[in-house]
Chains A and B, each alone.
Chain A
Amino acid sequence: MTTIESIREKLGTAEPWVESGGVRWLATSAPNVRQLAAVMNEAQARFVTITAIELPGVHLYRLEYLWDLDGQLLGFPFVLSGNSIESIHDLCEAVDWIEREVHEGFAVDFPGRDYEPLLLRAGDKLGVNLHQELL
């Protein structure tokens, strides 16, 4: 079994990998970002980034987690039901600044971690840069 197939099996999803826009995407039916981080650590994948997208009109966010496995980009989208998703900072040190940036830019909360003072801006108001509602 290839590594990416074993990733799919460990995440317990029947969905196939879908190649699109330079990334192999896997939609997990029961999204658990911490389980994903543990599986990617086990596969020795390198964390790349999180892209946060505010879905139009519905006050929902989609967070796309990207990992690199031997030069192949693997993507995992998570549609948040509220405005929070568990932090994986304790499992993946590399995620630290991007979680803080998404927290500041979109007011998305990552429970399970402490925030330093704002990373990118002065002041104390979250989401003023990229959160549509506050524009």
Chain B
Amino acid sequence: MSYKIPMGPYHPALEEPYKLDMFCEGETVSDAKLHIGFNFRGIEHLAETRNYIQVIALMERVCGICSNIHTLTLCQAMEQLTGLTPPPRALYIRVIMAELERLHSHVLWAGIAAKLMGFKTMFMTCFALREKVMDVLQVISGNRVNYSMNCIGGVNRDIPDPRAVLAMVEQLEREMVRTVIPIFTTSTTARSRCAGIGVLTHERAISCGVVGPTARASGIAQDLRRAAPYAAYSEFEFNVPVETAGDVRARLLVRALEIMESCGILRQALAKMPPGEWHGGDRKVVFSTGSAVSRVEAPRGEVVYCVSWKENSRNPARVHVRTPTFQNMPAIRWMVMGARLADTPLIQASIDPCYSCTDR
């Protein structure tokens, strides 16, 4: 018997609006259609009405999880148009913030995934750990969600005592190695709930142009920190974890291994932070006419900002944002096809979707 099940717009797993119409044969999903836009905010248009300082604050609100990444990408594009170059210490601070944000995002996702697997203890453990990552972010920036760290030509705050932050990061790393990583890599609960479901084949992943951990779990070794290094990433040693199975477990493993790589990058960055200026100072911000494109590897994958400016204007002429979830989400259709209905909330959550980013 064929029937349609509308899931959403209130998502059963992630409390954000989006709808998936699933066409089922018995308990098996035969096809699906996605609907987004329930909270579309028109931020790209709003950006054209903000000046070069206000637009940074606006774009920080595109996403509540990777807010720092959006201002980093925007500032990098604006730096290309103004010719302002951030000092080396600022580039290190940008890397530290980006990796802390990746940790926070991946641990948050791990908690939600654990909850969907029926592994409530693990959910609590992940969220307790996430609090500690946010404590580090608060120590550095004074904020827990919108950090206001990036500005044109540098960052707004220094990390005056990197050793204190390093001690916090090392403690975090120990707890992750002790709790999160072994459970997600070796536990039979995680394996039985995730292995072989929601498969996105390598060929389909290429065809859909998916990015970030979703791509890397389908055998695509693509990471902008390696392929097109920005900030100070070219100065650090790290691996790009890749899995080939393309299932939910592969996406879980990639993120678990990325948590370890992020800790490694943080240790390197905090240990060898160069001295000197971290802010652009009082240099005058003058935009030249033209366009600039900036890309950053966010926790969910590649974020792209295309920014156009007219000379002597205080406002951008155009800001186009391509978020990773916007690129990854259409692939959900292929992941749920053939899956059991009961597995679909976990499959949908496995791309770590951000509807706030998508409905920008």
Contacts and interface: CB of A to CB of B under 8 A. Distances in A.
Interface of A: 20-23, 46-49, 51-53, 64, 66, 70-73, 75, 92-94, 96-98, 105, 116-122, 129-130, 135
A51 to B, nearest CB: 4
B359 interface: yes
Interface string B331-360: 000000000000000000000000000010
Q: Secondary structure at chain A's binding surface: helix, strand, loop or mixed?
A: mixed
B159 interface: no
Contacts, number: 88
B40 A23 contact: no
A53 B318 contact: yes
B30 to A, nearest CB: 18
A124 to B, nearest CB: 13
B293 interface: yes
Given A49-B322, A129-B45, A122 B37 contact: yes
Given A21-B80, A49-B306, A64-B306, A71 B291 contact: no
Contacts of B318: 51, 53
Closest 10 CB pairs of A and B: A94-B209, A71-B227, A21-B292, A120-B37, A49-B322, A51-B306, A71-B228, A51-B320, A120-B40, A93-B207
B224 interface: yes
B228 A66 contact: no
B45 A97 contact: no
A97 to B, nearest CB: 6
9 contacts: A22-B77, A46-B222, A72-B228, A94-B207, A94-B209, A120-B37, A122-B37, A129-B42, A129-B44
Contacts of B290: 20-21
Contacts of A46: 206, 209, 222
Contact of B209 (A47, A53, A70, A72): A47
A42 to B, nearest CB: 13
A116 B19 CA distance: 14
B293 A75 contact: yes
B200 to A, nearest CB: 12
Given A94-B327, A97-B330, 8 more contacts: A22-B77, A22-B292, A46-B209, A46-B222, A48-B209, A70-B227, A71-B224, A117-B35
Interface string B264-304: 00000000000000000000000000111111000000101
A98 B308 CA distance: 18
B115 to A, nearest CB: 28
A62 B95 CA distance: 34
Given A46-B209, A66-B293, A71-B228, A130 B37 contact: no
B57 to A, nearest CB: 21
A116 B326 CA distance: 16
Contact of B37 (A47, A92, A93, A121): A121
B112 interface: no
A52 B44 CA distance: 11
Interface in B199-241: 206-209, 222, 224, 226-228
A52 B317 CA distance: 12
A66 B294 contact: no
A124 B77 CA distance: 34
B320 to A, nearest CB: 4
B120 interface: no
A53 B308 contact: yes
Nearest to B307: A21
Contacts of B42: 129
Interface string B24-37: 00000000010111
A126 B11 CA distance: 27
Nearest to B227: A71
B256 interface: no
B207 A121 contact: no
B176 interface: no
A120 B36 contact: yes
Interface in B29-79: 33, 35-37, 40, 42, 44-45, 77
A49 B330 contact: no
Among A48, A73, A98, A130, the one with the most B-chain Cβ atoms within 10 Å of its Cβ is A48
Given A53-B318, A122-B37, A130 B207 contact: no
A92 B207 CA distance: 7
A62 B329 CA distance: 26
